[in-house]
Amino acid sequence: MEVDIGNALGTQPGLTEETLDRLDDRVADADDRIARGMADDEFGYASLNLPETADPAAIRAAVEPFDEPEAVLTVGIGGSALGAATLADALESDVDAYFLDNVDPDAVDALLASLPLEEVVVNVVSRSGTTAETLANFLVVREAMADAGVDWTERTLVTTGESGNLRRLAETHDLPALDVPEGVPGRFSVLSTVGLAVAALQGHDVEAVLAGGRDGMASLAGSLRESPAYAYGATTYALAERGALTNAFMPYSESLETFAEWFAQLWAESLGKDGLGQTPARALGATDQHSQLQLYRAGPADKLVTLVRPRERADSRIPETDLEGLSYLGGSSLGDLLDAEFAATEASLAAADVPNVRVEIDRVDERALGELLYGMEAACVLYGELASVSTFTQPAVEWGKKAARGLLGGGDFPEAEAVADKREFRID
């Protein structure tokens, strides 16, 4: 992973070389704090040890009973789905991967009706075993399998905590089961059983993903000038402090579209607290040049743009043409066009004084993805240290969970009563 922050200097908001020098003292202190947390396997910091603590042999053993499935259906939500989905959507495989990460009845029914359930591995993921959306979907999936004459106990893999509903279920029915790692919040779990079991089922090289994670570990250092991950974390933090409250995150590769969603969870849920944080706005290059770029260049000066791309990829020639005014395209390639759009967008933002940061990887493969995912996690942890927020918790979502549970008759919660007090002002 390589980071170029040149276009965050002298922009509006923007940094100077002197800012970076002052910031770098704090980066050194934060790096110390992070290193101590990692050494002690503290809650959250333990995530940054996963490239060394994850056990690929256990993952391989758990998926081994499901020899060459046609597809994998993961039932999980948030951090229980996004890491696995990022790898699945970035890497090609003959084994399709699907995710039930919402409780929209139409979508759930349509997906289940389209799958050959007797050839599918169901991968249910919930640390607590009580996540309402995940367990509701799992109950629906289990019934659909029964209706299709499929023995769900032969086709189900469980990834969960040491105890709870799903753990007991796995024990009762002797299901293959993987442990959610201790001290690792869901959004930091991609380099563990939670993110890697699907990759293993799809035939991807899980060892290489972890090796990439170790590349990321090795590149942490006490200075933002020496560590791409810390350069990204410190730059985004300093820009946010100066008013860049939105981070438009724009990969120039369709295979990295889900990576932008994973990043959005990591960034929003880790850093959005105490009135601080930076809103991730997911975008996609080059498509969103025709949708969002007008705003990024000419709208409020409250954002930075992160441009992500692989340096190498397969390419496709554009045929020669006699269409008027288009001869310049002929003989060029779609890759050339995409690269030109990338460079043009980057320069066009700089020319409008909009801060932007370039993140590059060599190519979209297991190892580079492992490094990229690790790098963004380390960047996020550094940002959290610099902002003094509680990076690894998500207290603000509890209110709504209680309200929803109360509304469904799952207990007495004052939050559910607040729903009835809504102030209405309807126009129809």
Q: Is 343 in the site for its own copies (CB under 8 A)?
A: yes
What is the rounded CA–CA span in Å between residue 45 and residue 378?
9
In the β-sheet with 156-160, what is the strand arrangement from edge to edge?
96-100, 71-75, 120-126, 156-160, 177-179
Among 162, 290, 324, 424, which one carries the catalytic annotation? 290
Residue 119 annotated as catalytic: no
Residue 168's CB: how many other CB atoms inside 10 A?
12
Q: Going residue by residue from 132 to 151, which x/- string records binding to its own copies, judged by CB under 8 A?
A: xx-xxx-xx-xx--------
Binding residues for its own copies restricted to 200-239, rule: CB under 8 A? 224-228, 231
Residue 290 annotated as catalytic: yes
CB nearer to its own copies: give 224 or 376: 224
CB nearer to its own copies: give 79 or 183: 79
Burial of 387 from C-beta contacts in 10 A (0-12 / 13-18 / 19+) = middle
Binding residues for its own copies restricted to 370-399, rule: CB under 8 A? 394-397, 399
DSSP string, 333-371: BHHHHHHHHHHHHHHHHHHTT--EEEEEES-SSHHHHHH
What is the rounded CA–CA span in Å between residue 243 and residue 12?
9
Q: Going residue by residue from 89 to 108, which x/- string records binding to its own copies, judged by CB under 8 A?
A: ------------xxxxxxxx
Binding residues for its own copies restricted to 274-333, rule: CB under 8 A? 274-277, 279-282, 284-287, 289-303, 313-316, 318-319, 321, 323-326, 328-330, 332-333
Beta strands per DSSP E along 138-264: 156-160, 177-179, 246-251
What's the token pair of residue 263? 């990043």
Burial of 291 from C-beta contacts in 10 A (0-12 / 13-18 / 19+) = exposed
CB nearer to its own copies: give 316 or 388: 316
Q: Is 85 in the site for its own copies (CB under 8 A)?
A: no
Binding residues for its own copies restricted to 15-74, rule: CB under 8 A? none
Among 133, 261, 269, 346, which one carries the catalytic annotation? 269
Residue owning tokens 């992160």: 306
Which residue of 9, 28, 58, 387 would you call a contact of its own copies, by CB under 8 A? 9
Which residue of 56, 161, 222, 272 would you call a contact of its own copies, by CB under 8 A? 272
Which residue of 241, 338, 353, 387 would you call a contact of its own copies, by CB under 8 A? 338
Which residue of 154, 312, 347, 412 would you call a contact of its own copies, by CB under 8 A? 347
Paired residues of 360 in beta bridges: 2, 309
CB nearer to its own copies: give 56 or 413: 413
DSSP designation for 317:
B
Please state the closest distance from residue 40 (CB atom) to its own copies, in A: 25
CB nearer to its own copies: give 66 or 79: 79
Which residue of 23, 34, 177, 264 would you call a contact of its own copies, by CB under 8 A? 264
Residue 273 annotated as catalytic: no
What is the rounded CA–CA span in Å between residue 23 and residue 224?
9
Please state the closest distance from residue 414 (CB atom) to its own copies, in A: 10
Please state the closest distance from residue 363 (CB atom) to its own copies, in A: 11
What is the rounded CA–CA span in Å between residue 69 and residue 249?
34
CB nearer to its own copies: give 41 or 353: 353
Who's near 402: CB < 8 A, 6+ residues apart?
Answer: 413, 415, 416
CB nearer to its own copies: give 2 or 118: 2
What's the token pair of residue 133? 């959306």
Please state the closest distance from residue 420 (CB atom) to its own copies, in A: 9
DSSP designation for 412:
-
Amino acid symbol at 416: A
Binding residues for its own copies restricted to 154-193, rule: CB under 8 A? 165, 168-169, 187
Residue 173's CB: how many other CB atoms inside 10 A?
14
Which residue of 35, 211, 268, 387 would you call a contact of its own copies, by CB under 8 A? 268
Q: Which residues are catalytic?
A: 269, 290, 401
